[in-house]
């Protein structure tokens, strides 16, 4: 699943390529066969999609922001499109053409890669280009919220601290995670109601860098360990953004290209490989912790 650095990379792409343009049409192939989305504010519900279309066509894209792992696309007239990419979703930008009932890119290069061909949503833009959502497993969420209601929206109001905001401090990081004193630290880092944007990749990497074993209980971390984890969490998320996100799985940037953070992993999916920490003779092991697979060094992470 895309985490903070991947979502931020997409938001930066939308800012660069789509801001200032007007939405002239929108199409989706999402359906609601199971009835799960009946009555919900999700474009998989056909009634909602009809309203969504009526409201966004003709609106100008003013800005794009990120809240946790959600992409926010601010439109004129106080509307914001919210996209959560979930497992396999990613937003693409380029020239597309509708053939029968499917959209294909007219671009050569990365957009034509097989990973980018699961087009479920297409926003046509005033410059004849398109924002498209590729989503192989169809778990992504697309909805519309009045911009002024974003903080109180049910899609966002449960979310915790933003780790790259200026108001994120070691004190509020510690006191927020300590609301769950008996959680293992790995589980606490993944809990989006505490701190947002961190998933399996960046939690494994932050704990490796901070020398902390993922099964340590939140209540048992020392002052020094909180400081280290705070610092390394921020550093690894920033590094993820600097490397254009992580494309070990399905994530691609807005031009369909892979990020490079997967080449920088020290722990995530390095099972049985020697630890890269200077002077450490351990190896990376994999263990299921709080239902999620966790990768960590069997020696220096204590
Ligand atoms: Zn090690």
Q: What is the pLDDT along the chain (302 residues), one digit of tens a residue?
A: 899 999 999 999 999 999 999 999 999 999 998 899 999 999 999 999 999 999 999 999 999 999 999 999 999 999 999 999 999 999 999 999 999 889 999 999 999 999 899 999 999 999 999 999 999 999 999 999 999 999 999 999 999 999 999 999 999 999 999 999 999 999 999 999 999 999 999 999 999 999 999 999 999 999 999 999 999 999 999 999 999 999 999 899 999 999 999 999 999 999 999 999 999 999 999 999 989 999 999 999 99
Q: In this structure, are residues 43 and 55 in contact, taking their beta carbons and an 8 Å threshold?
A: no
Helices (DSSP H) in 180-252: which residue ranges?
A: 185-190, 200-209, 223-242
How many angstroms separate the alpha carbon of residue 170 from the centre of ligand 1?
Answer: 25
Distance between CA 296 and CA 211 in Å, rounded?
A: 9
Cα(200) to ligand 1 centroid in Å equals: 18
What's the CA gap between 151 and 201, in Å, rounded?
27
Ligand 1 center to 127 CA (angstroms): 51
Q: Which of 44, 66, 67, 69 is flagged as catalytic?
A: 69
3-state secondary structure of 172: helix
Domains of the chain, residue spans = 4-149, 170-297
How many angstroms does the Cα of residue 284 sit away from the middle of ligand 1? 7
Gap from CA of 279 to ligand 1 centroid (Å): 8
Neighbouring C-beta atoms of residue 285, cutoff 10 Å: 17
Quick check: is 99 catalytic? no
Superfamily of domain 4-149: MutM-like, N-terminal (3.20.190.10)
* Residues recorded for the chain: 302
Residue 250 CA, ligand 1 centroid: distance in Å: 28
Cα 112 to averaged position of ligand 1 atoms, centre (Å): 40
CA of 66 to the centre of ligand 1 (A): 34
Smallest Cα–Cα separation from 15: which of 78, 85, 77, 93?
Answer: 93
Contact of 244 with 261, CB cutoff 8 Å: yes
Would you call 287 a catalytic residue per the annotation?
A: no
For the domain spanning 170-297, the CATH number is: 1.10.8.50
Residues at Cβ < 5 Å from ligand 1 ion: 275, 277, 280, 282, 297, 299-300
| Contact between residue 64 and residue 15 where contact means Cβ atoms under 8 Å apart | yes
Q: Using CA atoms, how far apart are residues 280 and 251, in angstroms rounded to an integer?
A: 32
Residue 186 falls in the annotated catalytic set: no
CA atoms within 13 A on the CB side of 193: 5
163 annotated active-site: no
In angstroms, what is the span from residue 68 Cα to ligand 1's centroid?
30
Q: How far is the CA of 175 from the centre of ligand 1 (A)?
A: 28
CA of 114 to the centre of ligand 1 (A): 37
Give pLDDT, residue 142: 98
């Amino acid at each position: 699943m895309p985490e903070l650095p991947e979502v931020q990379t997409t938001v930066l792409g939308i800012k660069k390529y789509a801001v200032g343009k007007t939405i002239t049409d929108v199409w989706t192939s999402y359906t609601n066969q199971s009835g799960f989305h009946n009555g919900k504010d999700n474009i998989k519900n056909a009634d909602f999609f009809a309203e969504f279309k009526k409201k966004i066509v003709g609106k100008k894209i003013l800005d794009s922001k990120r809240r946790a792992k959600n992409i926010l696309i601010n439109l004129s007239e106080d509307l914001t499109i919210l996209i959560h990419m979930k497992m396999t979703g990613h937003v693409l930008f380029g020239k597309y053409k509708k053939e029968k009932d499917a959209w294909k890119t007219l671009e050569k290069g990365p957009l034509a890669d097989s990973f980018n061909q699961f087009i479920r949503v297409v926003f046509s833009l005033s410059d004849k280009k398109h924002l498209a959502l590729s989503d192989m497993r169809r778990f992504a969420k697309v909805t519309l919220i009045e911009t002024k209601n974003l903080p109180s929206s049910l899609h966002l109001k449960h979310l915790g601290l933003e780790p790259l905001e200026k108001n994120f401090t070691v004190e509020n990081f510690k006191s927020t995670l300590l609301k769950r004193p008996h959680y293992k630290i790995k589980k606490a880092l993944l809990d989006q109601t505490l701190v947002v944007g961190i998933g399996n990749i960046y939690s494994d990497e932050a704990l490796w860098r901070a020398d902390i074993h993922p099964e340590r209980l939140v209540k048992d971390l020392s002052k020094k360990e909180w400081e280290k984890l705070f610092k390394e969490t921020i550093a690894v998320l920033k590094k993820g953004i600097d490397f254009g996100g992580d494309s070990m799985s399905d994530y691609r940037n807005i031009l369909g290209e892979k990020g490079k953070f997967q080449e920088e992993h020290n722990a995530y999916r390095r099972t049985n490989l020697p630890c890269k920490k200077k002077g450490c003779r351990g190896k990376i092991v994999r263990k299921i912790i709080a239902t999620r697979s966790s990768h960590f060094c069997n020696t220096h992470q204590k």
